[in-house]
Structure 1
Amino acid sequence: MNTPQQLVRIVTPVVIRLSTGYLRQVSAGSRWRPVGLVPQGVVYRPVDSEFTVEGRQVHEAYLVINADALVGFFLPGESNFSALDPSQSIQIEKING
């Protein structure tokens, strides 16, 4: 798998309303490392923290970003993609790790 290794930082916070009704926030300034690709986009794992989403259970989650949109989450414990509907605009900047 060929993925870029440069870290990204979230520029502005993103508040996400999940289909379960729960809210999550991706914090401004948080750092994320690309760890792979899925058909929907690039998968980013948080650096120095953990990010979770909640449905019937709490799941560790990685961001899936395509262009300038957060399109969903990759759930590493289930090796599964979970779509965010609708997708949300997200602003990232590349930084040195």
Structure 2
Amino acid sequence: MKSLSSMCRRPLWVILACSIVLFSCAPMIATTPSIVEFAQDGTEVRSIVILATAKIQLDTGYSRELAETSVWKRVGRVPQGTVYQPVGTIFTIEGRQVHEAYLVLKDKKLVGFYLPGEQNYSPLSTAVPLTLGDIE
């Protein structure tokens, strides 16, 4: 009969292989193709500020936070809402892969994300109300 200490001494390759298999099981982020209708040159580009930290639970099981005082610049629209890009930072969401993401807001609620690298929209299953302020 094997002792507990000998059972715990697995080859490193077995541990790594199991880790890779578990990692590869992370769900993909649901997306649909979407093109941003960018704000026209010469139009006023408005920015917003997050006034209270908001925790977002993604359908992939991962979560993200929108930090209090973070600033987001309006860049355009998709059919689902207005698209805001973070100012001075990069925001990402995670599933099987990590994606750069912009916020998509409708009626002061986060309804999903625009993924500029893929030109896709990723919806949230539950909209997240946000406390927002305008920046002139």
Q: Deviations over 1:25-81 (max 9, x none)?
A: 000100000011001100000000110000110000000000121000000001000
Distance 1:76 1:64 in 2: 12
* Larger strand percent: 1
1:59 counterpart = 2:94: no
Counterpart AA for 2:93? V
1:23-42 aligned within 5 A? 23-42=63-82
Aligned residues: 96
Moved beyond 2 Å, runs of 4+: 1-4
TM-score normalized by the length of structure 1: 0.94
Unaligned runs of 5+ in 1: none
TM-score normalized by the length of structure 2: 0.68
Percent identical pairs in the alignment equals 46
Distance 1:59 1:2 in 2: 20
The alignment yields a C-alpha RMSD, in angstroms, of 1.2
**Displacement, 1:92?**
1.2
* Larger helix percent: 2
